[in-house]
């Protein structure tokens, strides 16, 4: 800004007025300053601007880099934040980068609230974080009174998948779960309850899985290798896990859905790919993102942390069909 002022022959205060777009400079001065700033390649220091403001108007978002659904959520959080004239700053969790490291990076950005997607923090860690920053969990239940949450009804979502498959004539149905991932317990219990409601409790098969293609492939290989008839349908913890299931079936020459039906969860970009067209349970990423931003802004305004539970829906595509005879 000093360089622009020197080149224009005016004070830095007047340059600041022009750059901020507030009254106090003539049209001629404004045009000249903007032209010189452009010629010099001047870019406003947004971090310095945030430091001068009592409100940074920044929401911090922590997400898992390898989860496609988290990427979908981030995209829609950007849009939802912009509608409220806020900026979203993201920090990724990866195999080489812990969630605590991702959070510390956001703290340096003077975020007004933290939105944590699928967080793995313990209750104690969340309690400590909430003392420093208004905190909202997304796609996970909150058992901390000072931490809000926006999540889908995971138990209902899995029961929708069970209802769909039973309606197609399937009886032997397996669920490859998410191991200890957020939401996995509710989905596992929802599966067992859904099967019991249809009188198929004895045919319910739950395998410990995970969040990756490898977990789905391992589970599917196990189901096919057992010395008992394999299931005719599989419900995976998420779309990534379901993709691993589909890969094994393709390599073994099993027709989908002729020999086996497969249902994913999330309705992420993986499920929508033209060569996959996966039947899945949609958590409605745009709606979840909008609810998350709204809840985070309410926390910033001093509102009481709430848990918002959204209703999922089944999206039927090409990976499910009638049970084989």
Kindly report the pTM of this predicted structure: 0.82
Could you report the average pLDDT of every consecutive run of 10 residues in the chain (325 residues)?
87 82 83 86 61 74 96 97 96 96 90 96 95 95 96 98 98 96 96 98 96 97 92 98 98 96 96 96 97 97 96 98 94
By C-alpha distance, which of 265, 270, 67 is closest to 152?
265
- Taking a C-beta distance cutoff of 8 angstroms, is the pair 7, 35 a contact? no
- Integer Rg of the chain from CA: 25
CA-to-CA separations, 169 to 163, 166, 172, 197, 231, in angstroms, rounded: 10, 5, 10, 15, 12
Quickly list DSSP for 251-273.
HTT--TTTT-EEEEEE--TTTT-
Q: How far apart are CA 208 and CA 178, in angstroms?
A: 7
- Token pair in block for residue 300: 């910033």
- Taking a C-beta distance cutoff of 8 angstroms, is the pair 113, 299 a contact? yes
Q: Given this model, what pLDDT does residue 47 score? A: 53
Residues shown for the chain: 325
Q: Given this model, what pLDDT does residue 51 score? A: 46
Q: How far apart are CA 153 and CA 137, in angstroms?
A: 14
What does DSSP say about strands 313-315 and 233-236: parallel, antiparallel, or unpaired? unpaired
What does DSSP say about strands 233-236 and 173-176: parallel, antiparallel, or unpaired? parallel
Q: How far apart are CA 144 and CA 119, in angstroms?
A: 13
Angle at Cα 146 formed by Cα 70 and Cα 289, nearest 5°?
25
């Amino acid at each position: 800004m000093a360089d622009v002022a020197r080149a224009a022959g005016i004070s830095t205060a007047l340059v600041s007025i022009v750059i901020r777009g507030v009254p106090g400079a003539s049209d001629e001065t404004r045009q000249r300053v903007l032209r010189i700033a452009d010629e010099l390649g001047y870019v406003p220091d947004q971090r310095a601007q945030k430091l001068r403001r009592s409100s940074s108007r920044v929401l911090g978002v922590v997400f898992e880099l390898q989860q496609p659904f988290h990427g979908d959520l981030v995209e829609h959080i950007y849009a939802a934040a912009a509608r409220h004239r806020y900026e979203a700053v993201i920090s990724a969790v990866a195999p080489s980068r812990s969630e605590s490291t991702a959070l510390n990076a956001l703290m340096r950005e003077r975020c007004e609230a933290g939105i944590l997607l699928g967080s793995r923090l313990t209750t104690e860690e969340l309690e400590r974080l909430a003392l420093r920053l208004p905190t909202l969990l997304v796609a996970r239940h909150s058992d901390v009174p000072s931490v809000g949450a926006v999540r889908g009804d995971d138990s209902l979502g899995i029961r929708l998948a069970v209802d769909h498959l039973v309606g197609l004539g399937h009886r032997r149905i397996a669920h490859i779960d998410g191991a200890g991932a957020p939401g996995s317990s509710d989905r596992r219990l929802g599966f067992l309850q859904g099967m019991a409601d249809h009188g198929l409790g004895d045919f319910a098969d739950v395998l410990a899985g995970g969040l990756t293609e490898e977990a789905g492939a391992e589970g599917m290989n196990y189901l096919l290798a057992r010395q008992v008839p394999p299931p005719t349908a599989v419900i995976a913890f998420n779309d990534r896990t379901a993709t691993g299931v589909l890969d094994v079936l393709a390599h073994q020459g099993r027709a989908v859905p002729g020999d086996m039906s497969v249902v994913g969860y999330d309705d992420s970009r993986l499920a929508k790919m033209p060569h996959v067209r996966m039947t899945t349970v949609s958590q409605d990423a745009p709606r979840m993102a909008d609810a998350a931003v709204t809840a985070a802004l309410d926390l910033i305004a001093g509102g009481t942390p709430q848990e918002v539970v959204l209703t999922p829906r089944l999206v039927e595509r090409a990976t499910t069909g009638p049970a084989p005879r």
